[in-house]
Structure 1
Amino acid sequence: MLSGQHKRQAVGKCWLFFLVTGKALDIQQQQHIPELSAPHCDEGWGATRPYYITDVPGHLLPVEQAVTRVCWNASGLVIDTNNSDMDIWQSCQECGCQNFNDGDVAEVFLAPVSSSSRSPSWYYELDVGAISGAFWGGVVHNSLGDDALYSSSFPCSATAPPGGFGSCELNCSALLPAVQVARGQSWWTRSLQIPWAMFLEDYRPSGSAEPWPVWRANFYRYSYPFKLPNSSDFDRNRAELSGWSPTHDASFHVPAHFGLLRLLPRALAQAVV
């Protein structure tokens, strides 16, 4: 969820985050965002390019790689991530705990936008921990976004301070994505099925109508591939931060650097009943 230096303040059920290094991006930087086209799940998947380290200039490959694939169906969005990982660990066991502070995590930031050139001020953050699949989610309000479109079916009044963001944590007793995790030798996967009911009606498919076509999204992970000095043990205090579209910042929350996700209309032949 968070990386680099930050300050936060609880306000009821909302959190305010003040980014120390977050900043708006110029047009030239925005032109380097990746694009992904996601079909209906009956027609396949759209897959990302490999991840890059997020908190450095340029495009550097991480020690541990990940790839995400996306499709949509009548129920919602399906987002799967496969992670290479030499030391899979996660202390968080329950929904609502801060899995991003406690081990390996795969994260999704996601929102529809009014046009492909806009970056969201409001978006979902959906984080899943390895091993147990412990979930943390929130509706984020970020002052670095330039599109005021609000798509969540849950109300959120979080304030976004200048240069930062606030968030409303999702209720673990309410509607949430369905989560599945699996692991093997040096890998783990996370499957996230995000129900359309988490979005307002304008953004869902209905009958012959297609889902909202233009979204901004990013996919991130925390991994811990570095060894302690003079030891065969891994350093669980030193995370490697990587993602589909690197933010080139110590924070993941830079909406102008989210990738562009297009939900493709279903093929006409398959749409006819």
Structure 2
Amino acid sequence: KTGDSGAEALKQAIAKAYRTQAQFDAVILTGDLVDRGAVEEYRELEAGLRALPQGIPRYFCLGNHDAREAFTEVFGSLKDAGHSDALGTHYQYSAPLFTFKDQVVRLVVLDTLEPGKDQGRLCEQRRQWLHNTLSLYPNDRIVLVMHHLPFLTGSALFDSMVVEERRQLEEVLAGFKTVERIVCGHFHRACVTQLAGIPVVVSPSTVHAYPLSYRGRQHEALVIDEPAGFTIHRFIVDSQSAYWVSHFVQQSPA
């Protein structure tokens, strides 16, 4: 998220990511991109992302703190480049990341934002879009990106804000063997699970972590003794196979 702390955290995350000396194919922002969904916040985000090397693709996923209209006012040129669904109602799209042995490794970004609500939604229209999009690429290796979690974590607070139609999503995904990984944000903590047999990787927040509480929805303060962080997803090719490995990177010591 943006703001004084968010802008500095973004700067630190970019610097630390490139200190790994990795050659990145893309940067994926899983939301929340900003805090209040204001145009000036998205302009601040755009300015912060100029620290990235020129030409590296940036892929955005909207969260419950985001606002579609304000986002597209600042980043609207992305829609002109085809980063939107055919109906134009939701900010969801697919894009090729790279090619491996004549196979396209493809990103599919799903919009779970429901304005005015913290909980994620995947209405029938969005689920149908996902089904149609996956059907278009039967030979690609798919990474599905969404902000809200499609599973329960055991955290009382965040379990009230997961995707409402997560079982219907699981039914859609069960019909395809091409989705290799699901990447989420929202939780402000790193965690992993699986859905329909697909690994789900949740990235920590670049700004701050939330407390892990299994009993009540309320908490007195944000966690300040746990580090912020981000995730590097690396596609590994060895003599036997090719697969994904995800590294959780802390931005500051705990």
Higher helix share: 2
Higher strand share: 1
* TM-score exceeds 0.5: no
TM bucket by the smaller chain?
under 0.3
In the superposition, the TM-score normalised over structure 1's length comes to: 0.25
